[in-house]
Structure 1
Amino acid sequence: MEATQCQITDAQSHLNSLIASYNRDVKVLRTSFTSSHYRTDEGQPSNCHEHVNESGAPFYTNNPQHSPVHSGGQRRSSEDDLGCTNEGVSERPNVEDGVFFANEDPLHLGPHNMLTKEETHVADYVFDESKDPSEVLCAYGGYGVTWEQLQCLVGESFIDISVISMFCRYMNAKEENPSRRHFFNPYFGEICGSMSKSTSKSTLKKRLGSYCVNLECCNQFYIPLFQFNEWVIMVINLEAKRVDLLSSYHSIQRIHFVNETFKVVGFMSQLLKNSFKRNDVNINNLHPQYADIVGDPKLCHTRMYAILYMQHWDGSGLNRTINSERMSLERLKFATHMVLDSENEIGEMVTANIWSTNNAE
């Protein structure tokens, strides 16, 4: 009898412990993660956060006037001369209209299935203007993307570089170990663009070496290049001994990007000398060429195209068609999948907040 009473006491104590642990977990899950928990200035090329803005001139992100969203959440209208609008500021997406499409793989958009119930709730939350702008909705490797930063995916605004950087982190995380492909942070291409062809090897290692750690096994490199308001994805395929430039925006700057590519290939051959040697690649025989991609997107959508190119390029072409007429849908769908992707380290916590919000309503 006494032994039974002890067992009951122990069981009750264990149950109380489980309940307390559960309550703590629920409290954590319902916590709104803000930018104070994560860095949101990923990959800045200098201590003063120098960037290149949409017009090609440098600016500093410490200045709120150069932020994608400022002044109470109102976006600057600097895109009018580029065929872009700020429609996303006043017209939020209505997921009940059935304009979204779903696919089992969160980072590969599919044109056939309607948005799932889960995705609908996430979309409502992501684009709810009453939310805390500093709440982090996506995180990986100590870096985060906030609610405010994801608003650039609405309408025809330029996509924040931090969103593209997080996407590249997701893509790299999905690669097998050792990885064969690597997706460079956009700041890598920006730094390359700031240096001359004659830059010394020591300077290259100092400024770019940290981006090339543990990449000796990789054979394909995806490098976003940005100049003159235009984005081009440069793909170095060492096994195939070819360099492709992915862009469907036909501008007079194409020759410039070809010349820029020659310079970047030269940098890469010094930074990843063993990889080039293993694949018997002579950089003098690499002739960058534009891939034949159908389409003529608005200039403000070139960043979304860059994301889609990195997702769907199979080495010789795109494995799916990109419809320029539904680019706004691609952008909104991508926003929900950035939250739901399996590589999002706080995805479960964010969705828990979403469910608790829905239940409260």
Structure 2
Amino acid sequence: MPEIVTIGLDIAKNVFQVHAVDRSGRIVLRKALRRSQIQSFFSALPPCLIEMEACATAHHWARTLMAFGHAVRLIPPAYVKPYLRRQKNDAADAAAICEAVTRPSMRFVPVKSPQQQSTLMLHGARDLLTGQRTALINALRGHCAELGIVVAQGARNTRQLIALIHDDTSPDLPVTARIALQPLAAMLIGIEAQIAKLDKAILAAHRSNPVSLRLATIPGIGPIVASCLSASVPDAGLFQGSREFAAYLGLVPRQHSTGGKARLGSISKMGNRHLRKLLVVGAHAALYSMKSGKTRTALAEGARSLLAKKSFKVVAVALANKMARIAWAVIARSTAYEPGSTGAAGRRPHRRRAQTIRP
């Protein structure tokens, strides 16, 4: 077999497509492999560069292939799309992946460890259960409102509805309605117990991670946001600066500029949706505290001055952008947040120092 230098691997559930080229870029191998054949094929192959899309199971296969001595690069699927020629199929996808990795400006996704993926699983499970809890609360409120039973807003006040549903002596709720709503109430109680269990696990993961502990010193960032940030961004050196990191999270205005005229719209909402949501929610909580005037930091003063000109939600998103930039600086420089420093998060670190944080 000719020398293989670069391989584009299109992964799937069962059938994987291999597209291999030599040093001159000539195609030397096109082959479909079953899932059971992957390890035996790549273990017998001399070390080479392997590229995959950063999709489901990509981190697992990246760690597996790296154990065989190969260099593995994960590419965001959106960056592979421009290199796809005409029709879409597994072979064309593998060829596009192999072509995309040769671009000098290509951006890659760092390979996450099993521990980092496990921490993100805690967040994913919690987010799923939180959505189901909201749906159950809305269902209970809607059904009870049809019978004229209404309680104050807030998740905690739903306990009054649950107590009423389980009270067999209450005349306000017919027996048939009680039979219909008791399973929903039981599911809601069970989900709240599971969310509390996940919160304890996330707190334990946060306390065992020094990077997460440093991130928690930033206003608006607690254990949940900090642990998600530290697991999602294992290497801040992949970004040229804090502004690039904020743009990666979709917390910058969307541009549609042409002819030298800048046109900026709402935020782009690209990148990690869950992490962006956590930062915006944390910014809302921090802004309520800063608005009172008790906090005398540069970050709080800037937020209050912006509140005089913009609406609360717009300022909260701007504060989330600032929090993301500060978080990048905290991760990149391995230091805690300093409230007295102004503008430090937006400056790019010295090149020599940035190289020292790369693995």
Superposed pair shares fold, TM > 0.5? no
Q: TM-score, normalised by structure 1?
A: 0.20
- Higher helix fraction (1 or 2): 2
Higher relative contact order, chain-length normalized (CA < 8 Å, sep 6+): 1
**Structure with bigger gyration radius:** 2
